[in-house]
Amino acid sequence: MVTLDAHLGIEQATRYWAGHPLPFNGTCGIWQRAAIEAGGGWKGDTVTEDLDLTYRGWVKGWRAVFLTSVAVPGELPADTGHGCASSSAGRTASATSRCACSR
């Protein structure tokens, strides 16, 4: 899927290189326990708990590293025509806004 490649290969890398917060999306990422604890722990009160923790960690001084040199194979469903992807994207988009406003 081209949009996922663009998001991970271009958008995330550019955010990292520019020094902007790198929204963690749960895909092939590793957290240091101290960063999670500094951010107040993992909270399940939002659909985007990974993004929420990203911002809470960011304000506490923690920074992400995006490695373009590490290849991680992934798998996507062969058929996304059932609306699952679009409903998930809509949920995530609205939850991202709520996440930003709630903290």
* pLDDT tens readout for residues 11-70: 888 989 999 988 887 767 888 999 999 999 988 777 788 888 888 999 999 998 888 888
Between CA 20 and CA 85 the distance in angstroms is: 27
Entry pTM: 0.67
Q: Closest Cα to residue 72, out of 25, 14, 21, 16?
A: 25
Q: ∠77-54-72 over CA atoms, to 5°?
A: 40
In tens, the pLDDT along 88-98 reads: 666 666 666 66
Give the pLDDT score at 38: 93
| SS3 assignment, position 61 | coil
Higher pLDDT: 81 or 47? It is 47
